[in-house]
Amino acid sequence: MTGREVEQVLLHAAEAEPRIRFYDHWIAVDLLLESKITGERGRPVRADRCWGAYVLAGTHGPVVPFIARATFLATGGCGKVYLYTSNPAIATGDGIAMAFRAGARVANLEFVQFHPTCLYHPDARSFLISEAVRGEGAVLRTLDGDRFMERYDPRAELAPRDIVARAIDAEMKQRGDKHVLLDLSPIKRERILERFPTIAATCARFGYDITAAPVPVVPAAHYMCGGVVVDLRGRTDLPGSTRRAK
Ligand SMILES: Cc1cc2nc3c(=O)[nH]c(=O)nc-3n(C[C@H](O)[C@H](O)[C@H](O)COP(=O)(O)OP(=O)(O)OC[C@H]3O[C@@H](n4cnc5c(N)ncnc54)[C@H](O)[C@@H]3O)c2cc1C
């Protein structure tokens, strides 16, 4: 909900700027490279440069070139390469792949943060059960009721995200289970409803009354730490990723 507010404010500010044009649901498919335009027999005639992008115009539209002196990538992460992710469907890593294909360096792509508790349901693959729920006292259990976190870290459910996510993953693999359970019974019903109304309502939509029974959860790819290598001004290895300063 916080993120939605941030995004709405940013969108309104951008809409109020007459020099910005929106192309909703147009998808960039590749960068437009000088070598592809001027190269002879596939050979670039000079150091490569980015001159914009090829963009798919809507769902059925043609691919059209957008020519630009400066091209910015702001296409987010690649959570969708994982089965369980908190990310929206658009997190496909397109920008990173385009930059990589164009010859820009990418780095640290192996560092992906996993959120420990995503709701386990075939129709709700990206709904997070906030860590605040464990902060209030909820505990993790295996399907047969074993409270396992104390075996992994003295801080148990309040250990850092990576430790809890790895512990859940280890338990699932050892036992062959598809998920673990988040048990909110240590928290009073009124407190759950007052403190986590959105989580309670969303889980109820998928058939789980979190005030009455443990809810199934799995770790989910949440935050991508790597990406395209840039300098302090956001420039990639490829000329054309910002306008040259005057
Ligand atoms: C569930 C969840 C909770 C989070 N909570 C927090 C939090 O509490 N605090 C915090 O600081 N951060 C939080 N984050 C992280 C934060 O949301 C991200 O770090 C941030 O949104 C990344 O911004 P971005 O602009 O790089 O990418 P995004 O916000 O992902 O934006 C990428 C945009 O590029 C578009 N796009 C993708 N591919 C293409 C393409 N080929 N052509 C055209 N457009 C394309 C997408 O449609 C999207 O609009 C959370 C993330 C998630 C998923």
Tens digits of residue pLDDT in 98-132:
999 999 999 999 999 999 999 999 888 789 999 99
Dist. CA 38 → ligand 1 center (Å): 35
For ligand 1, atom 10, the nearest C-alpha belongs to: 3
Atom number in ligand 1 closest to CA 94: 41
- From 55, 75, 85, 115, the mutation candidate for ligand 1 (largest count of ligand atoms within 8 A of CB) is 75
The DSSP bridge partners found for residue 224 are 112
Catalytic residue set: 161
Distance, CA of 183 to CA of 98 (rounded, Å): 43
Domains and CATH numbers, the chain: 18-110+226-243 (3.50.50.60), 112-223 (3.90.700.10)
Task: Kindly state the tokens that stand for 240.
Answer: 């054309």
Strands (E), the chain: 27-33, 50-56, 63-67, 106-107, 112-119, 139-141, 180-183, 215-224, 227-228
Q: Which residues line ligand 1 (CB under 6 A)?
A: 2-3, 27-28, 74-76, 86-87, 90-91, 94, 128, 223
For 165-189, what is the mean pLDDT? Answer: 97
Beta-carbon count within 10 A of 62 CB: 8
* pLDDT-derived band at 245, boundaries 50, 70, 90: very low
Place of tokens 């420990």: 116
Residue 246 has pLDDT above 50, yes or no: no
pLDDT band at 27, cuts 50/70/90?
Answer: very high
Provide CB contacts within 8 A for 215, sequence distance 6+.
119, 129, 181, 182, 184, 203, 208
Q: How far is the CA of 223 from the centre of ligand 1 (A)?
A: 9
DSSP letter, residue 133:
H
Residue whose structure tokens are 């043609």? 62
Per-residue tokens: 111: 């560092």
For residue 2, which atom of ligand 1 is closest to its CA?
8
Q: Which residues contact 232 (CB under 8 A, 6 or more apart)?
A: none
Specify the residue with its C-alpha closest to ligand 1, atom 7.
Answer: 3
Cα(170) to ligand 1 centroid in Å equals 28
Most informative mutation of 31, 86, 90 for ligand 1 (most atoms within 8 A of CB): 90
pLDDT digits (tens, 9 = 90+) for 186-233: 999 999 999 999 999 999 999 999 999 999 999 999 999 999 999 999
pTM: 0.85
Structure tokens given for 101: 């294909």
Which is it for the CA torsion 206, 83, 147, 174, positive or negative?
Answer: positive
- Looking at every residue in the chain, the average pLDDT score rounds to 92
pLDDT tens for each residue of 126-155: 899 999 999 999 999 999 999 999 999 999
Distance of CA 233 to the CA centre of its chain: 24
